Amino acid sequence: MEFKEYYQTLGVEKTAAADEIKRAYRSLARKFHPDVSKEADASARMAEINEAYAVLSDPEKRAAFDKLSQRRASGQDFQPPPGWDAGFEYSDAGTPGENAEDFSDFFNTLFGRSARARGAGGARAQMRGGDHHAKIIIDLADAYHGAARPISLRAARLDESGHVVTDERTLDVQIPKGVKEGQSIRLRGQGSAGIGGATAGDLYLEIAFESNAAYRIDGRDVTQTVPVAPWEAALGASIEVPTPSGRVEVNVPKGSANGRKLRLKGRGIPGAGSSNSAGDLYLELELTLPPADDEKSLQLYATMKREFAAFNPRQHMNDKS
Amino acid sequence: MTRDSVFSGTLLEEQALDVQELASACAVAPEWVIERVQSGLLSVASSSGGEMRFVSTQLIRARRMATTERSFDANQELAALVTDLIEEVERLRRQLHR
């Protein structure tokens, strides 16, 4: 187990006053706020910062931590000596209101749920396991068809000797057909194990879609850009388009302009359950010009120039000025 | 590393959370949830027979509010305002990519 140097995490001196620790924490909490920060590891950093603050903002935990840290340097392998916390009394018996399940083995061994269970005296304390939260990123196709997707999770548990060990496991989760971005799936009993025979917590998975330049998603409605040749747009055409629900034959109306949207009702993300209807699929036409990279195609463009001599694509700009 | 069989969960839209379950998921007391519903800072998905129920959007909102209150010692109105702004930023980002 790695010793955590909480003062370094918050960027404060070991002699820092409580106010200074609070200011440092708030500054870092703004910088690494998962909803706002552009840092790649914002969530992981925020968990470290929360953990450090949970200890250093509590005078009892801070005093106990200071006693331990006098003997250790950050990063060294560490096991707390027996009876390390003798003489320290934790009035709150833990960290109420914080998701201590996200904290490190180091924290959990010293101050977390296992410590609370250890300190519960002769009676074996019962405590429901904490709920866990994770985000799962899926393909749009998974929402259309449903799929089993593996997610990797790390969870702390007590071994037979009462020490916290971290298990890494991969859970295959069934993604229900028709799921939307922002919805949560609840997996009962897949959070932290309960203590003293109490029930395990739950795991909540928040759904997010993999970023895909080909699609734009709004609820269950999906917009897909479809390239078309100028003559298909001008003359009308029947084209075949691969969509998330399979290939479809679509009629491009004669005289279609660039950006025109064709609505395919009910071909968006399917409804989940009986109470929800499927979304729509919008095909947005994108006029694509053939390359002018040989003599023949250059001649064809020259012919168009001659034949469309009156056409001015910037006419509307002149009209406004 | 262990590998379990395929787990099927429940969408919160199909089986909404009650007050106790939402509180547990946010690591707060049930009173925290009730107080914010009564203040109009947190909505309910349904309220039949006096029992409040919550779905995904409320779970995410409640967790954001609780985190903001804890991290910045913010009062509940300020935390709700920050959460409103985060939700608005998310909406605008989605619109930008639409």
Count interface pairs A-B at CB distance under 8 A: 108
Interatomic CA distance for residues A141 and A144, integer angstroms:
5
Select the residue of B4, B9, B71 nearest A186 (Cβ to Cβ): B9
Compute how many other C-beta atoms are within 10 angstroms of the C-beta atom of residue A12. 18
pTM of the model: 0.74
Q: Are B45 and B58 in contact (CB under 8 A)?
A: yes
CA distances (Å), origin A314, targets A37, A317, A320, B28, B44? 42, 5, 10, 60, 52
Chain B neighbors of A224, CB-CB under 8 A: none
Q: Write the DSSP symbol of residue A269.
A: S
* φ, ψ of residue B54 in degrees (nearest 5): -135, 145
Q: Do A172 and B25 touch (CB under 8 A)?
A: no
Select the residue of A167, A190, A218 nearest B7 (Cβ to Cβ): A190
Name the stretches of chain B with pLDDT < 50. none
3-state secondary structure of A176: coil
Q: Write the DSSP symbol of residue A63.
A: H
Chain A neighbors of B90, CB-CB under 8 A: 35
A231-249 pLDDT per residue, tens: 999 999 999 999 998 999 9
* φ, ψ of residue A20 in degrees (nearest 5): -65, -40
Select the residue of A35, A167, A172 nearest B5 (Cβ to Cβ): A172
A103-119 pLDDT per residue, tens: 666 676 667 655 555 55
For residue A18, the surrounding DSSP H or E stretch is helix A18-31
ipTM of the complex in this document: 0.88
pLDDT of residue B2: 55
Interatomic CA distance for residues A240 and A8, integer angstroms:
60
DSSP B53-83: EB-HHHHHHHHHHHHHHHHHT--HHHHHHHH
A87: left (phi over 0), alpha (psi -120 to 50) or beta: left
pLDDT of residue A256: 97
Chain A neighbors of B72, CB-CB under 8 A: 26, 29
pLDDT of residue A7: 92
pLDDT of residue A113: 55
pLDDT of residue A91: 41
- Smallest CA–CA distance, residue A266 to chain B, in Å, is 19
Q: Are A58 and A45 in contact (CB under 8 A)?
A: no
Chain B neighbors of A272, CB-CB under 8 A: 11, 13-14
A313: left (phi over 0), alpha (psi -120 to 50) or beta: alpha
3-state secondary structure of A217: strand
3-state secondary structure of A186: strand
Q: Are A53 and A25 in contact (CB under 8 A)?
A: yes
3-state secondary structure of A67: helix
A195-225 pLDDT per residue, tens: 788 888 999 999 999 888 888 998 899 999 9
Q: Do B56 and A184 touch (CB under 8 A)?
A: yes
3-state secondary structure of A312: coil
Both tokens of residue A226? 């479809």
Q: Are B79 and B68 in contact (CB under 8 A)?
A: yes
For residue A166, the surrounding DSSP H or E stretch is strand A164-175
Name the stretches of chain A with pLDDT < 70. 1-2, 71-106, 108-110, 112-125, 154-166, 274-275, 320-321
For residue A45, the surrounding DSSP H or E stretch is helix A42-56
Chain B neighbors of A202, CB-CB under 8 A: 24-25
Nearest C-alpha neighbor of A98 from the set B49, B55, B69: B69
Q: Do A205 and B9 touch (CB under 8 A)?
A: yes
Q: Do A184 and B63 touch (CB under 8 A)?
A: no
Q: Which residue of A has its CA nearest to B13?
A: A183
- Smallest CA–CA distance, residue B81 to chain A, in Å, is 14
| Residue labelled with tokens 């340097």 | A73
pLDDT of residue A130: 84
Q: Do A187 and B7 touch (CB under 8 A)?
A: yes
Both tokens of residue B42? 């947190």
